[in-house]
Structure 1
Amino acid sequence: MAWECGIDGCGAIFEDVEAAVVHQATEHERPECNVCGTVVPDGYLAIRHAFTEHSRAEYVRAYGASSEDVREREELLEEIESEANIERIASELTR
């Protein structure tokens, strides 16, 4: 299965999810979390931060998100976490 970077229409394609997440974290500008102000890597890691560090209600208020937006991001997190080797991603990012 190929993985596509969905940040700002980037469209880069990767053979595995780990490479896609590392790309998002290293090749795209790091956004500031609208809830707490922490600067986080973009893409999956930004979504993971928002959904593990903050409540869904905080996310909805801070980002003007709809329930469909929340469901879409929850499904993306599930899909990535079911496929990804998180330790490999962490190792790549700490090099």
Structure 2
Amino acid sequence: MKDLISKGLALGLGLAVVSKEQIEKLVDELVKKGEVSTSESKELVRELFEKGEAEKKEMNSRIHEQVEKLLKDLNIPTKADLERLEQRIQELENKE
């Protein structure tokens, strides 16, 4: 039952956008309904929270990759590119 609940929450709610308080509230409701025991509830909250944090990191990584790809496709210079140009300009000015 616990696995079924975890999978359902991961798919249905999108754990990446659910706060720990929301997870606790949902698990408390499951305890009240008798679907999860009190002893399992803390572990379930921890597991769901950890899964949510992992999903957030994965989502952020994917978003970062997509933004970098978009900037590259649009031929927009990165901060590193601009810093290199500024350094090169400074070097050229110092030679004069």
Comparing both chains, which one has the higher relative contact order based on Cα–Cα distances under 8 Å and sequence gaps of 6 or more? 2
TM over 0.5: no
The structure in which a higher percent of residues are helix is: 2
- When normalised by structure 2's length, the TM-score is 0.32
The structure in which a higher percent of residues are strand is: 1
- When normalised by structure 1's length, the TM-score is 0.32
